[in-house]
Amino acid sequence: MAKRVVLLPGDGIGPDIVASAVRVLRQVFSDRPEALSFQYHQLGGAAIDETGQPFPEETRAAVLASDAVLLGAVGGPKWDQGPGHLRPEAGLLALRKALGVYANMRPVRAYEKLLDASPLRLDVAKGVDLLIIRELTGGIYFGERERGETASAGRFAKDTMYYTEMEIRRVVKKGFEAARDRKGHLTSVDKANVLDSSRLWREVVDDMKKDYSDVTVEHVLVDSCAMHLVTRPERFDVIVTENLFGDILSDEAAVLTGSIGVLPSASLGDGPGLYEPIHGSAPDIAGKGIANPLGTILSAAMMLRHSLEEPERADRIEEAVARVIDKGLRTADLARGRESVSTQAMTDAVIAALA
C-alpha cells in the first residue's frame, strides 16, 4: 500500500520549496511511483484566507491519518495583525501539538564547499556536524498566558514556561539515544542559574545519566552555549534543550552552514512525523523564484529515513545534495557575490544528480 504523505506548502516561499521536494521525491521513487501518495492540504495564512482558521479541521484529520507530513513554512506580513490564536504561527503550533511531535531534530552540518558562505572564519565552521534536539510541544510556547490591564501599571502580558518531568524525560531520552549513535556526547542546555523549569530539567538529565554510561554529559547555560556555537562549535555533538532556547540556538547554528536555507528538521513523537526546513516563509524573497530548496529537500530525506522506512533512498537524496553543493551550485542566499541559480535550477541539479 502506498505511504500517505500530507503536503502543507503554507505561505511565502513554502509552495515553491515543497514543489521542489516533491519533484525530488518523485525522482527517487521513479522505479516505484506507486509507493508514495501525496495529498495537499492547507495550513497557516493560506488556510486563514480560505477557511478563517490557520489549522482547519480537514487538515487536522488528514495529518492524523497520514504516514508523514511535509511542511514548507507559514506566516507573513499579511496576517501579522490578527489576534494571536488566528495567526499562521498558531496553526503551526496546533499542528505540532496535534501530532504530538515533541522531539524536533535539527542536524547542522557545514559543507566544506560552503565554508566561505559563512561570515565566520573558515576554521570555525570546518567539520561542524552537530544535532540540536529541541523540545517542541511544551515550555513557554504552550504554557499559561494572559493579557490584561491594571490601574497602576497599565497593560500586562504573561507567558509561562512550564515543564513536567515526563515531557523532559522523553525528549532527553531522544538526546541520549542520538548521542549513543553519534559521537557519544550530550550537551544539555538550560538556564538553571535562574529558572526553576531549568533546574528540574537538569535534575532529570542527571537522573537518566546512569542508564547511558557510554554517553558523556555536560550541562551548559544557554547564554554560554550561544557564544560557543559560533566560537567553538566542534565541541558539540548532540544538544538537547527546551523549546524556545532550541528555536533561537538553531537559527544561530545556521550561520555555521552559510544559510538557514540548507537546514532540515524532523519532528518526532509516537505517530506520524512532521518534516520541515527550520527557516520561515521568507516574505522578503517570496515569489522571486530564488529560495533555497535544499532545507526542504533534506527534510524530505529525513522523512524517508524516520517515518517511511526508506533509509537508502534518504541516503541517495543526501548524497545528491552533497554532490550538487560540491559542484559549486549556489542559490542567492549562499552566493556572497558569486553567480547564483534559481530554485528551479537547483532542484533540477539535485534531480540530475539522482538520476
Return the C-alpha cell found at 333: 542566499
Q: Is 23 marked as binding a ligand?
A: no
- Would residue 3 show up in a list of annotated catalytic residues for this protein? no
Does 92 engage in binding with ligand NAD (CB under 6 A)? yes
116 classed as catalytic: no
Location of C-alpha cell 542536524 = 107
What residue type is assigned to position 158 of the chain? Answer: K
Residues 58, 116: Cα–Cα separation, whole Å: 45
Per the annotation, the verdict on 247 as an active-site residue is yes
DSSP string, 33-64: GGGEEEEE---THHHHHHHS-SS-HHHHHHHH
| Residue whose CB is nearest to ligand IPM in the complex, by number | 89
With binding defined as CB under 6 A, does residue 129 bind ligand IPM? no
CB of 291 to Mn ion, least distance (A): 16
The yes or no reply on residue 280 touching ligand NAD (CB under 6 A) is yes
Can residue 11 be called a binding residue for ligand IPM (CB under 6 A)? no
Q: Which of 115, 278, 286, 290 binds ligand IPM (CB under 6 A)?
A: 278
H-run or E-run covering 105: strand 103-109
Which run of H or of E encompasses 155?
strand 154-159
Q: Does 258 bind ligand IPM (CB under 6 A)?
A: no
Establish whether 251 is a catalytic residue.
yes
247 binds Mn ion (CB under 5 A): yes
Q: Measuring CA to CA, which residue among 82, 20, 96 is closest to residue 45?
A: 82
* Maximum C-alpha span of the chain: 70
Q: Counting Cβ atoms within 10 Å, is residue 200 exposed (0-12), middle (13-18) or buried (19+)?
A: middle
78 among the known binding-site residues?
A: yes
Whether 326 is catalytic is no
* Residue list, annotated binding site for Mg(2+): 223, 247, 251
Residues labelled catalytic: 141, 191, 223, 247, 251
Which residues in this chain contact ligand NAD in the complex, by CB under 6 A? 13, 73-76, 89, 92, 260-261, 276, 279-285, 291-292, 295, 333
